[in-house]
Amino acid sequence: MNLPCPLLTPGSWLLTSCIFLLTSYSLLLIPSHLQAQSTIPLNTWRLHLSYNTINSIATADQLIFGASESGILVLDREDNSIATYNTLNGLSGTGITHIAYDAARKQLLIAYADGNLDIIRDNTVRNFNRLKTSQLITGSKTIHHIAILGDLAYLSADFGVVVFDLKLLELRETWRDLDATGKVLKIFESTFYNDSIFLATEKGVMAGNLNANLLDFNNWKRTDTGDFAIAATSVTRFNNKVYAALTNRGVYRYDNGKWQRETVITGTSFGPLSASASNLLIIADNSLWKLSASGMLTPVTATPISAPLTAVADVQGNLWIGDRQNGLLIDVTGTFVSVLPNGPTFSEAFRMKYLSGKLFILGGGFDAASNPRNNNGVFNIFSDGQWQSTASTGDLTDAALLNNELYLSSFGYGVERTDNAGIKTVFNETNSPLQKTGTAPASVYVTDIEASDANLWVANYGASQSLHVFSNNAWQSFAFPFSAARYPLTLTIDMSGNVWAALDPAQGGGVLFFDPNDNRSSYKTEAIGAGALPSRAVRTIVTDREGYVWVGTDQGIAYFFSPNADAVKPIFENRFLLRDEKITSIAVDGGNRKWIGTERGVWLFDGAGEKLIYNFTTANSPLLSDRIRHIEINDETGEVFFATDNGIVSYRADATVGAPAFQDLKIFPNPVTARFSGTVGITGLATDAIVKITDISGKLIWQTQASGGTATWNVRDYNGRRAATGVYLVFAATEDGAERVVGKIAVITEE
């Protein structure tokens, strides 16, 4: 796959305009092709990747590469421009574990947790997937490290070492089953010393002569007893000696055929060791140290260094650090600064919520066992193509707006309100009826909040009164006569103001229905006459645009058209809808279509759940993972956001929320050039309007019906032929024909 710019040719990037925001410890670089757009074209994708966690760094003469799990950032030191590379522009997947630069051939090697290997050379990404697809290798295929010597790269993996030919881009040989008894042995890193290769393994350190037959496990020398009878996580060469880091032991030096412990440093855990001309760089217990050749140990500390994961020095002696929270850190100017492309500050979104034109990303929350995750309170906001982060209480689970005031819920700290003056108030057990249900000091567990009319509904997990409503600065609380109701996970409010709650499957599951007007409740289960759910393991619940309440379970989908009737299970392909799928999220777009997240991708069905429109997976789309955690939709633009366990990606769909009457009609792109091969979008329509496209003489070319407030045209006529050059008229009317509008589209078929 060709990349949009010569990745490995410094100085030739088309990145001429960057936005710089420089403080004493942060640097934001946004290149021209990465400057975020407020909207993207119909039927296109964009990734929203976090580069706040950098786990591997590689240096070239002018370029610096930093790897997150899902992408690569490339910094050109000549003009301080930055590019990012991901699955949209060439990479084969996510789960990046290590990168290495082959200076002789000017190519970058990218290793993955699934055994994949990408090689970027001459503006082209070549994928080597023989390890990933090999049937001979069982178990984990994770590649942990790449070491380069001459024309060969040595890949340290969970199954052994792969020797890879850098000229021919093919496998030379694989050293497997290297345990002393010929069993599988995990290899974490390698380094070279004289004519030998040293390996850091899950059982100490191994060394083998590169001129020997290293396919034979008997030809290796092992140091795996005494202090070395544990995992060696890293090994490198410094000052003509080999150094190894041992878990819970420290750093050891190989000198004159013997291993000796460096008494100057200890640690329970170690990151990768790295050597510069003058220092050994050591990451121990989230701290970075420099060890000189004379044995002097110096800490490396600065404001943006929070939890270093990797560190390297370039040929000029500049230090580059990959941090867990602050991205790629550099000290070229003598002061550390952080290089961060525009994006969220974390990858794992627990929940997303669109509020007043802004997308809120909450990190959560609680885990699958409903235990606090102990996340910090930083949440992200995406607005007008830009990301920003804000601090709040910890373990955030949801967001809501009520009377233009922002409310954030927390699994531990209750509910935080920020009023119009910016004053924050935290509602917990001391100033509200919210109840503590754990032993920790912060154990007011709120799993969800929903604003409806003048009310804020609050789900208080584990409490005897598990549902609360806050209105006009007053609280009211409710308890229910069945134990499962004490454990609500997520809420929805139907068009009658009734509250529906999905209940924790680990505590009985099912659905709680509550009518606050009559103070009437019921418990929906899989039993006929009591809900007829596909399963009590309900994971998500949402109200659609017709007022039906849709429920996603571990065994498919159902919906309630009335709280007094059993659920309806849609039929698709002669079986209950997605009955074999674990449903993790449901979102309703402007056309009342159902976007359904599962652990095997995303499905889009029509309003009734009977017609499949899309099925996106990692195999046929830029989804970062098939495990979907949450789906949220920008109703104004139709952009659908998918939170996966590997990050956030969005897709601009062709449905927006309509209005009873026509709004400002917008047609884009307009004019349609010969190079354009996508779909024309027509927005501002009345809900589900009928749209007709004619030529200038009035001949009908195309007719369709809007999805909500948006209609699309593929610039073709009924026979599938590309529309000829000319001006075309757009007529739109409500279904009863009561109102009409007219627009124009210019089409150019030849340049």
* The two three-digit tokens of residue 593, written as one number: 């279509």
Would you say 665 and 684 are in contact if contact means Cβ atoms under 8 Å apart? Answer: yes
DSSP assigned state of 723 = P
One-letter amino acid for residue 272 of the chain = P
Q: What is the pLDDT of residues 471-498, one digit of tens each?
A: 999 999 999 999 999 999 999 999 999 9
Q: What is the pLDDT of residues 553-592, one digit of tens each?
A: 999 999 999 999 999 999 999 999 999 999 999 999 999 9
Residue 253, SS3 per DSSP: strand
Position 586 scores a pLDDT of: 98
* Residue position matching structure tokens 């609680």: 366
Number of Cβ within 10 Å of residue 213's Cβ equals 11
DSSP assigned state of 724 = P
- Say whether pLDDT at 30 is over 90: no
Please give the biggest Cα pair distance in the chain: 93
CA dist 633 and 527 (Å) reads 33
DSSP assigned state of 716 = B
Position 54 scores a pLDDT of: 97
Q: Please report the DSSP string for 468-494 in residue order.
A: EEEETTEEEEE--SSGGGG-EEEEEE-
Residue 562's nearest CA partner among 509, 510, 516, 494 is: 494
pLDDT classification of 11: cutoffs 50, 70, 90:
very low
Would you say 178 and 187 are in contact if contact means Cβ atoms under 8 Å apart? Answer: yes
pLDDT classification of 537: cutoffs 50, 70, 90:
very high
27-30 vs 337-340, strand pairing mode: parallel
Residue 590's nearest CA partner among 662, 649, 639 is: 639
Half-sphere exposure of 565 (CA within 13 A, CB side): 10
CA dist 631 and 245 (Å) reads 43
Q: What is the pLDDT of residues 234-262, one digit of tens each?
A: 999 999 999 999 999 999 999 888 999 98
CA dist 664 and 732 (Å) reads 12
Residue 406, SS3 per DSSP: strand
CA dist 509 and 524 (Å) reads 9
- Say whether pLDDT at 390 is over 90: yes
**How many residues in the chain?**
751
* The two three-digit tokens of residue 375, written as one number: 């996340």
Q: What is the pLDDT of residues 144-155, one digit of tens each?
A: 999 999 999 999
Helix (H) or strand (E) holding 288: strand 287-292
pLDDT classification of 36: cutoffs 50, 70, 90:
low
Percent of the chain with pLDDT over 90: 79
* The two three-digit tokens of residue 448, written as one number: 């969800």
Residue 386's nearest CA partner among 323, 354, 326, 341 is: 341
Cβ contacts of residue 218 below 8 Å, gap of 6+?
none
CA dist 578 and 575 (Å) reads 8
Cβ contacts of residue 713 below 8 Å, gap of 6+?
679, 680, 682, 691, 693, 702, 704, 745
DSSP assigned state of 80 = T
CA dist 425 and 406 (Å) reads 11
Total-model pTM: 0.87
Residue 136, SS3 per DSSP: coil
One-letter amino acid for residue 97 of the chain = T
* The two three-digit tokens of residue 461, written as one number: 């997990």
One-letter amino acid for residue 67 of the chain = A
Least confident of 34-43, 82-91, 97-106, 453-462: 34-43
Percent of the chain with pLDDT over 70: 95
Half-sphere exposure of 214 (CA within 13 A, CB side): 23
Q: What is the mean pLDDT of the chain?
A: 91
Distance separating the N- and C-terminal Cα atoms of the chain? 27
Cβ contacts of residue 501 below 8 Å, gap of 6+?
459, 467, 485, 488, 489, 490, 491, 511, 512, 514, 541
Position 10 scores a pLDDT of: 36
pLDDT classification of 1: cutoffs 50, 70, 90:
very low
pLDDT classification of 532: cutoffs 50, 70, 90:
very high
CA dist 289 and 297 (Å) reads 7
Q: What is the distance, to the nearest Å, from the Cα of residue 174 to the centroid of all Cα atoms in its chain? A: 33
Looking at beta carbons, which pairs linking 720-726 to residues 24 or more positions away fall under 8 Å? Answer: 722/749, 723/672, 723/747, 723/749, 724/749, 725/749, 725/750, 726/695, 726/696
Phi, psi angles (nearest 5°) of residue 727: -105, 130
- Say whether pLDDT at 7 is over 50: no
Position 751 scores a pLDDT of: 63
Position 494 scores a pLDDT of: 96
